[in-house]
Amino acid sequence: MILTGRVISPGYAEGKLLLLHEDFSFLGGVDVSTGRLRTNGGESLVGRVFAFPRGKGSTVGSYTLFDLKTKGLAPAAIINSEAETIVTTGAVISSIPLVDRLDLSLFCDGDNVRVDGYAGTVELTDVRLREVVTGIIVRDGKILGMERSNKVKYFKGKWGGVSGSIEKGESPLEAAVREAEEETGLHVRLLRRGESFFIRDGNIMWNVYPMLFEAKGEPVLNWEHFSCAWLRPEELLARDTVPRLDEVLRRLGQIL
């Protein structure tokens, strides 16, 4: 699975990911004699691909990173949500690959990654990509909520919309219409397409294509669902839902 960001400092590196969820300062944040963090359990960043949202602190942090590099204690590469001047300068003068504009929620600590600081890409070598659609069917201001059965492979018992994989040769819209008809028996009319987005679940990365449909009549469920109900958006989201259903609804204009 390859994610594309922005090139800040060129180079190529690979290794295990060390992930922090807070902004980081190299000045004071790492022991320059060992390469171990002063937070996060004192983990070593030596030779790791170091991911954190954004740098902070004194501009001396740039030279702290360079000092780590000269001692052989630096990270192999850096990934940021948004690179700023301190970390950028330190990476460039230390010849450490740096890529930013990546969603760190898609990474897990310990991931095996390859950073291409020339192309601006990060490959998650053990993560598989699945292209899926999520169709939201509306009628008279309510959403058709669907409770997934125990016979499906993923998210058993969770509530969501109509969903399924995009088959070879299908467009996302074709897949969404097919899934809607298979799972509900309804004839649907497209109202809106939402921008696709990624969801990480273990070693699977879902690329989700949201679709909003209108339909008349009552659904006839197949084996993939236990039950269904016409619900207001807040009623659906109050149930035990599939991951990021709120984001699907937001991208389709069903919630703010």
State pLDDT tens for residues 218-230. 999 999 999 999 9
pLDDT at 256 over 80: no
pLDDT at 98 over 90: yes
Closest CA to 102 of 14, 2, 15: 2
Contacts of 182 (CB under 8 A, 6+ apart): 164, 222
Average pLDDT for 7-15: 98
Q: Compute the residue count for the chain.
A: 256
Q: What is the pLDDT of residue 92?
A: 98
As a whole number of angstroms, the distance between CA 213 and CA 13 comes to 45
3-state secondary structure of 25: coil
Contacts of 200 (CB under 8 A, 6+ apart): 105, 106, 107, 108, 127, 206
Q: What is the pLDDT of residue 32?
A: 96
Q: What is the pLDDT of residue 250?
A: 97
pLDDT at 193 over 90: yes
Which residues, listed in sequence order, are joined to residue 192 by a DSSP beta bridge? Answer: 212
Average pLDDT for 171-180: 96
As a whole number of angstroms, the distance between CA 60 and CA 87 comes to 10
As a whole number of angstroms, the distance between CA 23 and CA 79 comes to 12
Q: What is the pLDDT of residue 40?
A: 86
Q: Which of the residues are catalytic?
A: 58
Identity at 92, one-letter amino acid code? V
pLDDT at 245 over 90: yes
All structural domains of the chain: 2-124 (3.50.30.10), 128-251 (3.90.79.10)
Taking only the tens place, the pLDDT of each residue in 149-164 is 999 999 999 999 999 9
